[in-house]
Amino acid sequence: MSKEVRVRFAPSPTGYLHVGGARTALYNWLFARNQGGKFLLRIENTDVKRSSKEMEEYIKEAMLWLGLNWDEDIVYQLDRLEIYRKFARELIEKGLAYYCYTPPEELKKEGGGVECFEVDPAKYQGKPLAIKFRVPNEGTTEFDDIIRGHISFRNKDIGDFVIVRSDGIPTYNFAVVVDDHYMGITHVIRGEDHISNTPKQILIYQAFDWEIPEFAHLPMILGPDKKRLSKRHGATSVLEYRDEGILPEALFNFLALLGWSPGDNREIVPKDEMIKLFDLRRVGKRAAVFDLDKLHWINSEYIRMKADEEIYRLALPYVEKAGLVKTEEDRERFRKVVPLLKERVRLLKDFIDLSEYFFKDVETYDEKGVKKHFKEGVEERLRLLVERLENLDSFDEKSIENVVRALAEELGVSAAKIIHPTRLAVTGRTFGPGLFELMAVLGKDECIKRLKKAITWLEERKREKGG
């Protein structure tokens, strides 16, 4: 029986959880679940100025929305400052780290290159001293990355580095090692941008004689311009995708397959299946472009797979917020609208536009539609249709269809000659759900009202044109 797998996601609460961070968290989560291990959350809030509780809450909300639940109490770096300092002093005692001082003239240097010189702390009482880690000049530091294989660095290229700043705050590389050791992390799964931090961290592990975890460096996620993903590429926070109506299952699926593939040709893979199949060794090495089109396609697939009732529940807030659905009656109608639109929607917010005419009068008719379907003689056809619809007792899909088709036959025209103008009259548009089901949802009175309105509109237009 091997040791329990423990992984962590360690965001800084200085910004939103973006898709890059989300995928890192997601791979950690998948790996932990696959291995029957633990997924932990650590908040790296030592940058006090830029960190906020608010951002921390956003990050947690986004993670939970995606289904990335963590297993133990959250670890906060800011609570552990004394511990870092203690371990740093231990390294000094061992002669593996030293105090250093940066003279004021160094700080004035422009363009970096600021030096911090080793000093005897006894002679620099009261001066701000940093602590630097001593890196041997000889040899190499290497590791076997689960994703990338063997990676080696010459120690002389690494050079001494600061582990505790003069203000007493530990640097990233130092805090990470102390925390990962303390948390019993067995596998460090993080972005490729940390590869060059890894040898520094390994040197620290070795200095303490701590067990070195396994490393897996994930490829970056790029924007459509192949540049690093940033605010310029639209939605920056995972929660913005939620607000647009991306389902968490869809984003999960999409992100999981961005850099990893189960090996078969499937694109839609349920979460439990992913947990079973996930394998870090199958994660790709090259950076991946975030393809919004594909995300939207996956989302539409998930929307289609869900029950009408669930989509109703999920989509309702969108149409309510847009002011379309206000009353209990509206909600009942929207419940009937959902099955008609479910297969035509990519994002939940698409319900707003696509269902508008179910809740609002038709004010304008699609221009191209008018040219195409509101032609000579159309008023007469619509007038006859109104007459027959008025005589219908049961205004259901089948009855409406029978009326329309019978009328077409009597007039010796194709059903399309009635269907298209009617759609335009009733919805103002040239596309949408099947006409008969749509009319049934709209109801007899409303359909007749709209048809009459269109007839009037046509007559007025004719008069204007005619003279």
**φ, ψ (nearest 5 deg) of residue 255:** -65, -40
- Compute the least distance from the CB of residue 402 to RNA, in Å: 12
- Compute the least distance from the CB of residue 1 to RNA, in Å: 26
Using CB under 7 A, pick the residue from 61, 160, 192, 396 that binds RNA: 192
- Compute the least distance from the CB of residue 72 to RNA, in Å: 29
113 interacts with RNA by CB under 7 A: yes
Residue 8 vs 420, nearer CB to RNA:
420
Q: Does the annotation count 231 as an active-site position?
A: yes
287 interacts with RNA by CB under 7 A: yes
Token pair 């924007």: residue: 223
- Compute the least distance from the CB of residue 122 to RNA, in Å: 27
- Compute the least distance from the CB of residue 347 to RNA, in Å: 12
Choose the catalytic residue: 156, 227, 231, 360: 231
Using CB under 7 A, pick the residue from 288, 305, 322, 384 that binds RNA: 288
Residue 59 vs 354, nearer CB to RNA:
354
**φ, ψ (nearest 5 deg) of residue 97:** -145, 165
- Residues in region 158-177 near RNA by CB under 7 A: 159
Using CB under 7 A, pick the residue from 29, 84, 99, 153 that binds RNA: 153
- Give dist(CA 77, CA 84) in Å, integer: 9
305 interacts with RNA by CB under 7 A: no
- Give dist(CA 61, CA 67) in Å, integer: 10
- Give dist(CA 463, CA 467) in Å, integer: 6
69 interacts with RNA by CB under 7 A: no
How far is C-alpha 73 from the geometric centre of its chain's CA atoms? Answer: 25
DSSP annotation of 138: S
Residue 168 vs 262, nearer CB to RNA:
262
How far is C-alpha 162 from the geometric centre of its chain's CA atoms? Answer: 35
- Residues in region 392-451 near RNA by CB under 7 A: 401, 415-416, 419-420, 423, 430-437
253 interacts with RNA by CB under 7 A: no
What does 393-417 look like in DSSP terms, one character per residue? SS--HHHHHHHHHHHHHHHTS-THH
- Give dist(CA 96, CA 113) in Å, integer: 23
User: Measuring CA to CA, which residue among 163, 158, 218 is closest to residue 187?
Assistant: 218
User: Measuring CA to CA, which residue among 420, 418, 396 is closest to residue 406?
Assistant: 418
CB of 254 closer than 8 Å to CB of 77: no
Using CB under 7 A, pick the residue from 28, 35, 102, 300 that binds RNA: 300
Residue 112 vs 467, nearer CB to RNA:
112
Neighbours of 19 (CB within 10 A): 22
- Compute the least distance from the CB of residue 153 to RNA, in Å: 5
- Residues in region 207-246 near RNA by CB under 7 A: 219-220, 222, 226-228
How far is C-alpha 263 from the geometric centre of its chain's CA atoms? Answer: 23
Using CB under 7 A, pick the residue from 52, 261, 399, 402 that binds RNA: 261
Contacts of residue 409, Cβ cutoff 8 Å, sequence gap at least 6: none
Q: Is 448 exposed, middle or buried (0-12, 13-18, 19+ CB in 10 A)?
A: buried
Residues making contact with RNA (CB under 7 A): 112-114, 148-149, 151-154, 157, 159, 192-193, 195-197, 219-220, 222, 226-228, 257-259, 261, 263, 265, 267, 282, 284-289, 291, 293-294, 297, 300, 304, 343-344, 401, 415-416, 419-420, 423, 430-437
Residues noted as catalytic: 231
